[in-house]
Structures are given as C-alpha cells and as structure tokens.
C-alpha cells in the first residue's frame, strides 16, 4: 500500500506539472495573439503549428524538474520551501526549451515566428501555474496522508525531551504521513512519558526485533548527547531492517553545519562558527525592519485601535503592558504588548512562565494570546530599533540568569537583536517547550541568516497564527 501511495503521489504530481506547462504555453499563445505588443501578431500562425514546440517545452520542463529533485520528496513541503526550486527549474527549463526549439524547429520558427513576448508570457505563466498546481496537489496529499493513506510507520529511539518533542510534532501534524509505533529506551529518565500516547517497545538491543515485528518504515534517533560509537551501533542495528534512518543532530553538529577553512598567517584554522549578520547585511535587515514595521503599523492601526477599545471594555487596567526583556548584547529594553492578563497577574507568584489555560488571562486575553494578537505592539519596538522582525525571542532578565548557567552558548543568542518571530517559533518551539532546543534553533538562525530566510519565516508566522497549538 505504501509503495502504491508513493507511486500515486509522484505520478499525479508529474501530471499536474505537465498540465500546468501545457496550459501555460497555450495561454501564452492566446495572449500574444489577443494582446499585440509593439507589433501586430500578423506572423503568428494557428496554434496547431506550435504543438511540437509545446511538447518540447513540456518534456524539457519535467526533465529539469527531475534533476532539481522536485519529484523526490518523501514528505509534503510547503509552497514556500519549493518556491526557489520551482523558480530556478522553470527558468533553466525555459532557456533549454528556447535552445531546443531553435535547433529542431529552425525553419518553422523563421516561417511562423516565435516572439520573445510569447516566451516571457510562457515563463511567467509556467511559474504561476506550476506553483498553483503543486499547492493543490500538496493539499490533496496532506489530506490523504492525514487519513493514513501512504503513511510511514515511525520508531523513535530515545524517550528524552527530544524524543517526546518529535512525537508531539508528528501527533499535531498528521499531514506529515507518520504514525509513531512506539519508542526505544536508552535508559534515560522518562519524564512526562505518561502524557505520551505511544508505548516503550524495548531497549537498544531490541531494535531489530521491534523493526520486524512492527513493520517499521523509518527510524528517528533522538539521542543528541549520545556518544558517537553508540549512534554508530544504533544505525548498524537499524540497517538490518532496511529502514530509513534520521538522526537528530547534537549541538556541535548544528554549530559546525558550515565548516570553512581559513588561516592565521599560514596556520590552517577551521571556522566552525561564524555570524552571518555583518556589514551590509545588517543594513539590509534593518531597512526591511523599518519598511515592513512602518507599513504594518499603518495598515493594522484601525484593527489595533479596536483591540485597545475591547481591552478597556473587557477588564480594568491599561491597554498596553510593558515588560523588561533582554535584547542585543544582553541590554534590557521595554517590550510592548497588548495586556492579556489581569493587572495583578504576578502579585502572588512572582515571575513565572505562561502556561496553557493560564487562569491569569482575561477573557479577551485568551483570544489575543491564541492568535498572537497581543504581540502586535512589538512592531513599535521593531520600528524604533529595540527589536527586529525576525530573531531570537527576547526573555526576561530573571529567566536569562537561570538559563545562561545551564544551557551551553545561551548568551550567544544576544549577539543579534531579539525578534518578533523567529526560526524556533515557526518550528513549533514556543510556549512550554525545551529552552535548549530553542537555543539550538536560534544559534542556527544567527549563523545561517539570509534575507530569503527572514521572508520565509515571516510568511510561515502569518499562517501559523491560525494553527499554532503552542500559542497561549
């Protein structure tokens, strides 16, 4: 059944791409005929004369897509993840198509004409229609996988916080197409395992038996702190069962994800950590912060005024709540939020984490926090320069003092401005989740920053506002 499902998804995706390319070519022809641009379409023949060129374009596009590995995906990717690959593949495919049609249809092109405007129409329409077709295909595939069709049976090795986080991710995202059959224990403390609806099926030595008995398709090794020889042993045991194997990386692997070689006056040095945001990149990021936050404040100002009015009507107290947070270079600043809790929320408890179904919330505050509306005033922090649109989430000084003593490299998060959203947040690490894991994601972001990464995070944040289960 799994092989049939995989073949079905690939074949239907291929058909969707071919349909999109053919339709784009036909619409490009119609646009060229119906909308004369600079010169009338007197030399454009009937569409049947261009069918051969259309076939070449369709075959070329799907071939280029194959080499771009656009048919090799095991899990459904978001359209954002595929966008850059689609743009590159369609652009290269268009160039190759022009070369092939010029070679095979030289005389016909001289006779019929193959205007550049038609090429541009075809390129733009192919980009749009392929992306649209893949979006529709991904919706269907997600729906089928969420219903168990073509799912992979997943075994998680490790009952620690990481293993439980992976289980939660799979549980809350059924469209990934995984079903967790259980856990393998490595002897670690099984904290909160009672809340995990999956059994512990054995220990490391039982891996081959568990894989065979439970027909496991994929294994995730969630032991980031385990010694290398133990990971090697586990992989060897898994390979006996011919399953897919994924390993959750440890902190050093994330630090050294892009190792480069340099020298110090002739002495070779390995650079395992670098900061991506330097020089002109800082200027570019700040320019985007100013432009986007200013536009967002203008556009959202009527909505924010309405929220402010509702807060005043809902409960006594101020509209805004200013809380001290740690930002760039661990310097404190006042982080603005819409007030979502009663005025005396911490009078008895002191500084504590917000938690699910927090009794300190106001009636309106529960809604504001669920959809992250309470954080909109932080756009003001972004505009004045205390924060950035994207970056590590700022924490309160009292918590920073706790975390820096127990979490390696925690203070390195403060080498960049705090963000309204971040790489950790869009990967589900907010609310009552592991601070250690958040730190790893924040450090990866700092060392791998790009403008496109910021844009991708912002887009994902907008969509996650309606689906994030950890927003409370």
Domain boundary among 207, 225, 248: 248
Same domain for 73 and 189? no
CATH of the domain at 186: 3.40.50.720
Domain boundary among 225, 248, 271: 248
Distance CA 317, CA 323 (A): 15
Return the closest-CA partner of residue 368 out of 306, 420, 460.
Answer: 306
Same domain for 135 and 174? no
Same domain for 344 and 440? yes
Q: What are the angstrom distances between the C-alpha of 461 and each of 31, 157, 192?
A: 37, 30, 29
pLDDT digits (tens, 9 = 90+) for 321-361: 888 898 888 889 999 999 888 777 665 666 666 666 667 77
Confidence band of 4 (pLDDT split at 50, 70, 90): confident
Same domain for 359 and 441? yes
pLDDT digits (tens, 9 = 90+) for 73-129: 655 566 666 777 888 899 999 999 888 887 777 666 655 555 677 888 899 999 999
Q: What is the pTM of this model?
A: 0.57
Same domain for 140 and 286? no
Long-range contacts of residues 32-35, Cβ cutoff 8 Å, at least 24 apart: 32/115, 32/117, 32/118, 32/121
Does the pLDDT value for residue 367 go beyond 80? yes
What is the predicted pLDDT for the residue at 229?
81
Same domain for 90 and 182? no
Is 264 part of any domain?
no
Q: What are the angstrom distances between the C-alpha of 387 and each of 214, 298, 448?
A: 49, 18, 19
Distance CA 40, CA 64 (A): 33
Same domain for 17 and 82? yes
Domain residues for the domain of 363 are: 280-464
Is 160 part of any domain?
yes
Domain boundary among 248, 272, 298: 248
Is 265 part of any domain?
no
Structural domains counted in the chain: 3
The residue ranking higher by pLDDT, 121 or 243, is 121
Is 164 part of any domain?
yes
Same domain for 168 and 128? no
């Amino acid at each position: 059944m799994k092989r049939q499902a995989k073949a079905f998804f690939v074949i239907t995706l291929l058909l969707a791409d071919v349909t999109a390319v053919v339709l784009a070519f036909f619409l490009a022809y119609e646009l060229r005929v119906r909308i004369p641009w600079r010169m009338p379409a007197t030399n454009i023949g009937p569409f049947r004369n261009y069918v051969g060129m259309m076939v070449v374009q369709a075959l070329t596009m799907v071939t280029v897509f194959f080499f771009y590995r656009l048919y090799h995906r095991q899990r459904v990717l978001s359209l954002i993840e595929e966008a850059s690959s689609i743009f590159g593949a369609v652009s290269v495919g268009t160039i190759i198509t022009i070369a092939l049609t010029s070679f095979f249809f030289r005389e016909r092109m001289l006779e019929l004409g193959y205007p550049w405007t038609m090429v541009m129409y075809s390129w733009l329409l192919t980009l749009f229609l392929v992306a649209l077709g893949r979006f529709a295909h991904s919706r269907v595939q997600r729906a089928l996988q969420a219903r168990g069709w073509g799912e992979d049976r997943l075994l998680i090795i490790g009952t620690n916080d990481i293993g439980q986080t992976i289980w939660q991710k799979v549980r809350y995202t059924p469209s990934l197409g995984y079903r967790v059959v259980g856990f393998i224990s490595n002897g670690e403390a099984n904290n909160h395992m009672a809340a995990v609806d999956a059994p512990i099926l054995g220990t490391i030595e039982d891996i081959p038996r568990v894989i065979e008995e439970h027909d496991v398709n994929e294994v995730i090794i969630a032991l980031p702190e385990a010694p290398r020889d133990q990971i090697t042993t586990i992989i060897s045991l898994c390979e006996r069962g011919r399953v897919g194997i994924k390993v959750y990386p440890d902190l050093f692997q994330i630090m050294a994800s892009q190792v480069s070689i340099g020298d110090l006056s002739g002495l070779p040095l390995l650079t395992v950590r670098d900061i991506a945001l330097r020089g002109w990149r800082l200027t570019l990021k700040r320019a985007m912060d100013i432009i986007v936050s200013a536009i967002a404040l203008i556009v959202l100002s009527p909505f924010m005024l309405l929220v402010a009015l509702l807060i005043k009507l809902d409960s006594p107290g101020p509209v805004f709540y200013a809380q001290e947070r740690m930002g760039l270079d661990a310097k404190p600043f006042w982080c603005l939020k819409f007030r979502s809790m009663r005025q005396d929320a911490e009078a008895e408890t002191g500084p504590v984490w917000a938690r699910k179904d927090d009794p300190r919330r106001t009636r309106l505050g529960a809604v504001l926090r669920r959809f992250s509306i309470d954080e909109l005033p932080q756009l003001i922090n972004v505009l004045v320069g205390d924060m950035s649109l994207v970056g590590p989430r700022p924490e309160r000084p009292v918590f920073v003092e706790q975390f820096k003593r127990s979490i390696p490299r925690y203070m390195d998060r403060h080498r960049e401005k705090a963000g309204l959203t971040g790489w950790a947040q869009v990967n589900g690490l907010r609310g009552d989740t592991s601070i250690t894991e958040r730190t790893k994601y924040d450090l990866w972001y700092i060392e791998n920053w790009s403008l496109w990464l910021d844009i991708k995070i912002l887009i994902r944040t907008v969509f996650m506002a309606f689906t994030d289960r950890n927003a409370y």
